[in-house]
Structure 1
C-alpha cells in the first residue's frame, strides 16, 4: 500500500477529499482528518478500511502545521463556536501528533469544542492523560458489543479486548473529558448488545456535558463491507421502532439533535468551485484511496478521479459529484 504524506510542498489542497484534510458540511462543525490508517477490520466498515482491505490502495497523513494553517483559515470564516471533530476513514489515534493537534485547535479563537472519534483500542492511561491535558472536550467511542466473542467478531481482529476498551472508557470519564458511546446498530447481529451498551453508558457516567450515547444506523455503501445476517432498516424503522424502544427501556433521550445536543448550527459553507456535470482539467498529484483512483487538483481543491490509470500530468474530467466541497470526477 502506498503512503502519501501531505505537506504544503505537496501542492495537495486540504479541501475536496473525504480521505484527509477538512470537511465542511455547512454547519459550525468541521471534520478534521489528519490521517486514514486503521488497525481493525470491522466487517461493517463503510469504507473497507483496515489491514485486510481488498479495495484500499493508499494511506494519507497530513503534516501538522499544514493542517493547522488550513483550520486557522477556515474556522474564523465559519464564525464563533466552531467544533473541530477529529475523525478519519480509519483510526485517528494512529496519528502520532494527535495531542499536539488537539492543543493547537483549542488555541484557535473561533474553536470552542474539540472532539475525537476512536475505536478505543489505542487508548491507554498515557494517551488519555495527554489528550485531557491538551484540552480535548469529548471522546466518541465506537463500541458495538459487550459480549467478548461478538466484540472481537465486529472488530475483525482476534486481539480485540473488550475489557481494555471499557476500562479506557471509564478512565476517560474520570478525566476532564466527556464520553459519548457510539455503537453502530446492526439488526440481526448486535440487537442484544445495545441495551448492555446503554446500561454501561449510564453506569460509567458518560454524558457529563454531551449526550451519553449516539446510536448509529447501519448503512450499505458501495465500497464498504456488509456483515452476513444484517437486516438493513429504513430510517423510519430505526427511529420509530428501535430508538423508541430503547428510550422507553432506559429513560434516556436517544434521538439526537445536532443543535440541541451539540450546539451545531447552520453556517455558510466554503464556496463551491465545481458544479456537477461540468468538465475541468485537473493535475494528477497522488494515487487514490482505492485501486483505479487518482488524486487530482484543480482550483485549489482535490478531485478524486475514478477509473483513471494516469499517474501524473493533466487529465480532462467530468465532475460527477460536487457536494459539501467534496469532488469526484471521471475521465472524459
Structure 2
C-alpha cells in the first residue's frame, strides 16, 4: 500500500473526498480527516482498513498547514459553536502531528469543541497528557469487548492488550478529557460484552460532560468486512429491542440524540455538482481502491470509479454528491 501526501502543492482540494480533508454534513460538526491509515484489522471494519486489507491500495496524509487553511476557511461559514471531530476511515492517532492539530483547531474562534475517535492503541499516559494540554475535549474510544480472547479477535490482532486499553480508558477518564466508550454491537459475537462495557463506562467515570456511551450498530458494507455468519440487525430492532433492554438494566439513556452533543443543523458548504451532471476532471492522485482515481474540478475532489486513465483529463458523470462527497464514473 502506498502513502500519498496531500499538500498545497499537490493541488488537491480538501473538500469532496470521504478519505481525507473536511467533511460537512450540514450541521455545526465538521469531520476533520488528516489521514486514513489503520493499525488494526477488525473483522467488522466498514472500510476494509488495516494490515489485512484486501481492497485498499492507497493511504493519504494531509499536510497540517494545508489542512488548517481549509478548516479556517470553512469554520466561519458555519458560525460560532463548531465541533471539530477528528476521525478517519482508520486510526487518527497515526497522524504524526495529531497533538498540534488539536491545539490549532482549539485556536479557531468559531470552534468550541474538539473531539476525536480512537482505538486507543497509541494513547499512553504521556500522549493523553499532551492531548489534554492541547485542549482536546472528548475521546470516543472504540472498545468492543472486555474478554481478552474476544477483544483480540475483534481487533484482528492476536495478543491485543485489552488490559492496556482498559487502563487507557481509566486514564482518559481521570484527565480533563471526557471519555465516551463507543462499542460496535455485533449480534451473536459480543452480545454478552455490551452490558460489561456499559458497567465499565459507568465505573470508570466516563461521560463527565457528554453521554458515557455511544453504542453503534454493525452494518454490512460493499467494501467492508463482516464476521462469518453475522447478520446485521435492522434499525427498528436495534432501537426498540436491543437498546431498551440495556437501558432498563442500567437505568441509563443509550439511544443518543444530536442534542446530547449540542449538534444542530447549519447551512452546508454549497454543492458544486448535481447528480448525473457530466463534467471533466483532472486526475491528480491514485484512488483508495484498485481502479479508482481522484480527479479535481471546481475546487472539489471527485472519486472516479473504474477510471480509464491514471493521469490527464477524464470526462465523468457524477453518480453521488451527498454531503459534498463526489463519486463519478467515466461518461
Q: Same fold (TM over 0.5)?
A: yes
Q: 1:30 is matched with which residue?
A: 30
Q: 1:11 is matched with which residue?
A: 11
**1:303, CA displacement in angstroms?**
0.2
Q: 2:287 is matched with which residue?
A: 288
Distance between the aligned counterparts of 1:160 and 1:97, measured in 2? 25
| Cα distance per residue 1:16-50 (max 9 Å; x no partner) | 00000000000000000000010000000000000
Q: 2:148 is matched with which residue?
A: 148
Distance between the aligned counterparts of 2:135 and 2:211, measured in 1? 19
Distance between the aligned counterparts of 1:84 and 1:131, measured in 2? 14
Q: 1:271 is matched with which residue?
A: 270
Q: 1:70 is matched with which residue?
A: 70
Q: For structure 1, which runs of at least 5 residues remain unmatched after alignment?
A: none
Q: 1:220 is matched with which residue?
A: 220
Contact 1:4–1:58, Cα closer than 8 Å, also in 2: yes
Is residue 2:145 matched to residue 1:159? no
Distance between the aligned counterparts of 1:126 and 1:159, measured in 2? 23
Q: 1:179 is matched with which residue?
A: 179
| Cα distance per residue 1:80-124 (max 9 Å; x no partner) | 100000000000000011000000000000000000000011110
**1:3, CA displacement in angstroms?**
1.0
- Secondary structure of the corresponding residue to residue 133 of structure 1: helix
Distance between the aligned counterparts of 2:159 and 2:312, measured in 1? 44
Q: 1:321 is matched with which residue?
A: 320
Q: 1:331 is matched with which residue?
A: 330
Distance between the aligned counterparts of 1:303 and 1:61, measured in 2? 17
**1:141, CA displacement in angstroms?**
0.3
Q: 2:209 is matched with which residue?
A: 209
| Cα distance per residue 1:221-276 (max 9 Å; x no partner) | 111011113231110000000000000011110000012x1000000000000011
- Secondary structure of the corresponding residue to residue 67 of structure 1: helix
Q: 2:49 is matched with which residue?
A: 49
Distance between the aligned counterparts of 1:313 and 1:331, measured in 2? 13
Q: For structure 2, which runs of at least 5 residues remain unmatched after alignment?
A: none
Q: 1:108 is matched with which residue?
A: 108
Q: 1:136 is matched with which residue?
A: 136
Contact 1:121–1:160, Cα closer than 8 Å, also in 2: no
**1:2, CA displacement in angstroms?**
1.6
Aligned residues: 331
Contact 1:189–1:229, Cα closer than 8 Å, also in 2: no
| TM-score (normalised: structure 2) | 0.99
Q: 2:193 is matched with which residue?
A: 193
**1:309, CA displacement in angstroms?**
3.6
**1:159, CA displacement in angstroms?**
3.1
**1:71, CA displacement in angstroms?**
0.4
Post-superposition, which runs of at least 4 consecutive aligned residues in structure 1 deviate over 4 A? none
Distance between the aligned counterparts of 1:153 and 1:35, measured in 2? 25
Contact 2:29–2:82, Cα closer than 8 Å, also in 1: yes
- Secondary structure of the corresponding residue to residue 173 of structure 2: helix
- Secondary structure of the corresponding residue to residue 199 of structure 2: helix
Contact 2:308–2:330, Cα closer than 8 Å, also in 1: no
| TM-score (normalised: structure 1) | 0.99
- Secondary structure of the corresponding residue to residue 320 of structure 1: strand
Distance between the aligned counterparts of 2:308 and 2:45, measured in 1? 26
What is the Cα-based RMSD across aligned positions, in Å? 0.6
Q: 2:255 is matched with which residue?
A: 255
Q: 1:240 is matched with which residue?
A: 240
